[in-house]
Structure 1
Amino acid sequence: MALSPKTIHEARLKAKAKRRLRKTSSRDSGRGDSFSDNGDPSRGTNGTVPPTSPKSKLLDRKSRAGKGRGLPKKGGAGGKGVWGPPGEVYDLEEVDVKDPNYDEAQENCVYETVVPPLEEGDFEKTLTPIVQEYFEHGDTNEVAELLGELNLGSMSSGVPMLAVSLALEAKASHRELTSRLLADLCGRVLSRRDVESSFDKLLRELPDLVLDTPGAPQLVGQFIARAVKDKILSKSYLDGYKGKVDCVHARAALDRAAVLLKMGMGGLRIDNLWGTGGGQRPVTQLVREMTLLLKEYLLSGDNKEAERCLRELEVPHFHHEFVYEAIVMVLESKGEKTFKMVLQLLKFLWVSSIITVDQMRRGYERVYMDIAEINIDVPRAYFILEQFVDKSFSAGFICEKLRDLCPSRSLVQSNTFPHQLLSVSSLVSRSVCAVLAKFLW
Structure 2
Amino acid sequence: MMALDWRNRDKEMVSHLLTNAHMPSDDIIKGFYLLLDLAPDAAVDHPYILRDLSQFIARAVVDEIITPAHFEEIEMRSSYKLGKSILELSLARYRATNSGQMMVKYWGACNSGWTELDIKDMKDNIMRLLKDYDMSGDFDEACRCMINIELPFCFYHEVVKKAIIYMMGNPHTRMWILLEKFVYTGVVDDTQMAKGFKRVEESIDDYSILISIPQANLMYRKYLN
TM-score of the aligned structures, taking structure 2 as reference length? 0.48
- Which structure: greater helix fraction? 2
TM-score of the aligned structures, taking structure 1 as reference length? 0.25
**Greater gyration radius:** 1
Higher relative contact order (CA 8 A, sep 6+): 2
